[in-house]
Structure 1
Amino acid sequence: QWAQVQDWDPVALSYVPTGQECPRFRADGVLPPGTEVQLGDRAWQVHAAPGHDTHAVVLFEPHARVLISGDALWENGFGVVFPELDGEQAFAEVGATLDLIERLDPLTVIPGHGSVFGDVPAALARARRRLAGFEADPVKHARHAAKVLLKYKLLEWQQAPLAQVHAWLAATPYFGLLHQRHFAQQTASVWAEQLMQELVDAGAARREGGALLNA
């Protein structure tokens, strides 16, 4: 997405579709898969890691066997598979990226979210179970993705009137797309209320008066 960053296209970079804010930044270079990048005194391999994001990469240092995995592998899962939200078939790419990580055989993983971890076989097993669940029930993944996007916005807001939350959901393209594709049997307003309530039930948000608060 070098060109989209240089031209700063917030639609192609997903900020508009997901309703998230990102100040413009500058990119000075790219990390092409199949190359190496020198970080400190070590050469790190660059590997393509599509799934969560079509353009994602992971970095692997083979001597200490350290993997910077981004959102391709967490200790308990992986990032939302955004191409699936656009109607593309990307769960297989998630599986292929997990297979790549298994072949690299890292001792230590630095994930995009959560703590550094070392029991990589157990993490891969959990990720594959999660992937199998999403493949068996894509609607489950769609609901999970919707809640993740709302939670991220709530991290930015910290708190917002319910009317503001409803307005943001209605104006954010991915929510309209997900609602139309998977949840059209409910009104958008009812679906929005369910998403908020599920975040509250999970302890990720709370309601006070007429507002939704981060938790």
Structure 2
Amino acid sequence: MSPQPPTPTLPSWLIWWQRPFPDANTLLLPGRQPALVDTGFVGHADETAAWARAHAGNIDLIVNTHWHSDHVGGNSLLQAQGAAIAAGTPEAEAITRRDPGCCAAEYLDQPVAQYTVDVPLDDGQVLRLGDADWEVVRTPGHTPGHLALWQPEERLLVVGDALSDYDVGWVNLALDGPDAATTALASLKRMADLDPRVILPSHGPIPAAPAAAFAAALRRAQRLVDDPAGAVWYGARRIFAFALMIRDGIPADEVESYLHACAWLTDAARLLDVTVEVLAAELVTTMLRSGAIVLRDGRIHAAADHTPVAPEVLRVPYPRAWSATEPC
């Protein structure tokens, strides 16, 4: 076996925090304009804010790669402490309108505390984060407003959920249309063409070999394009595992009834042309068989490493109940 390449070195002017689920990795850019890229899950917002303050003082700006719950969970708390929030224009506009579908929070049954977006971001826009300039790169696919951040001098690329060392972001063919996987593949090709020295993903470690990571991601993304049913299954497995992580599992005798009530599973069943009951049972069975979920003490748990979440933090209101006037 050939030796593994070393992990690329990071410049001293940034701080990278690799976090287990249900949090996304967090990038901190201290300096004259302290900034944070993504803020983890709402259940760990206090931890996120305390960590950022300890390393950089007050945060001026938060940039969200996209609006899923594991990326925006600390927004509300940090905004109350004075941070502005920046996000891709499609998602920024929806949050400003207070669309009921914001963050896909209710659809995915993933809590998000209320926040506002102060700075809508468009493709090619340059942001001063910490003491360096970063370019916004629109990378729709995983969500319509998904974005990457490119630092050309150091050739650093923040890729959000577009890819990691072990997979690519799931795509939502029900909400975002049948071309979502093709859009995600095009975004990956655009990022690969930047030829980054360092990839900073939202989950997992920094890939040791960026070119190889992109090559693998492009193959995986092409499979989602070629196999729409497989793409639906891939998303369902990811969403269900996350639901188990943030709830410390679900009682085994309640798990299928929980799934029957989920909007995302109803849509997945429609796309796969099966009943909700059949899909829920098959999802549980196949994930138990593969080891992705486990039965322990009468509850179904996600097998992947994750940080516990206090039950009370899941009780924040869905966006349809967010106030039209209160910022957070």
Q: TM-score normalized by structure 1?
A: 0.90
Q: Does 1:166 align with 2:256?
A: yes
Could you tell me which of 97, 113, 117 is aligned with 2:203?
113
Counterpart selection for 2:184 from 94, 113, 127: 94
> Contact (CA 8 Å) 1:16, 1:172: kept in 2 or not?
no
Q: 1:133-161, CA deviations, whole angstroms, 9 ceiling, x for partnerless residues? A: 22222111111111111001001111211
Q: Aligned to 1:61, which of 151, 155, 174?
A: 151
1:95-149 deviations in Å (ceiling 9; x for gaps): 2111211221100011011111241111111112112222222111111111111
Q: 2-side partners of 1:10 and 1:151: how far apart?
A: 24
Q: Which of the residues 84, 89, 93 maps onto 1:3?
A: 93
SS of residue in 1 equivalent to 2:294: strand
Alpha-carbon distance in structure 1 between the residues aligned to 2:118 and 2:256: 38
Residue equivalent to 1:180: 270
Q: Superposition RMSD on alpha carbons, in Å?
A: 1.8
Decide which moves more: 126-135 or 1-10: 1-10
> What is the identity, as a one-letter code, of the residue corresponding to 1:16?
E
Partner of 1:79: 169
Partner of residue 127, structure 1: 217
Describe the superposition over 1:36-79 as per-residue Cα deviations: whole angstroms up to 9, x where unpaired: 11111110010110111111110000011000000112122311
Matched with 2:38 is none
TM-superposed CA distance for 1:191, in Å, is 2.2
The DSSP-based 3-state class of the residue aligned with 2:103 is coil
> After superposition, what is the alpha-carbon deviation per residue over 1:12-45, rounded to whole angstroms, capped at 9, x for unaligned?
4311222222222232322221111111111001
CA contact (8 A) 2:265 2:280 kept: no
Q: More helix per residue: 1 or 2?
A: 1
Change in Cα spacing, 1:213 to 1:118, as seen in structure 2 (3 Å) is closer
Q: Structure 1: where are the runs of 5+ without partners?
A: none
**Are 1:39 and 2:108 matched, yes or no?**
no
Supply the distance in 2 between the matched residues of 1:25 and 1:167 (Cα, whole angstroms). Answer: 31
Alpha-carbon spacing, 1:118–1:42, altered in 2? closer, same or farther (3 Å):
farther
Q: Name the residue aligned to 1:200.
A: 288
| Displacement after TM superposition at 1:183 (Å) | 4.1
Q: Runs in 1 of length 4+ with deviation above 4 angstroms?
A: none
Q: Is residue 157 of structure 1 aligned with residue 247 of structure 2?
A: yes
Structure 2 CA distance, aligned partners of 1:153 and 1:14? 13
Pairwise CA distance, 1:188: 2.5
Structure 1 residue 213 corresponds to structure 2 residue 301: yes
Answer yes or no: is 1:145 the counterpart of 2:239. Answer: no
CA contact (8 A) 1:36 1:45 kept: yes
Cα distance in 1 for partners of 2:180, 2:250 equals: 33
Question: Which residue number corresponds to residue 42 of structure 2?
Answer: none
The question of whether the paired residues in 2 share the 8 Å contact of 1:68 and 1:110 is answered with yes
2:281 partner letter:
E
- My pick for the range that moved more, 97-106 or 26-35, is 26-35
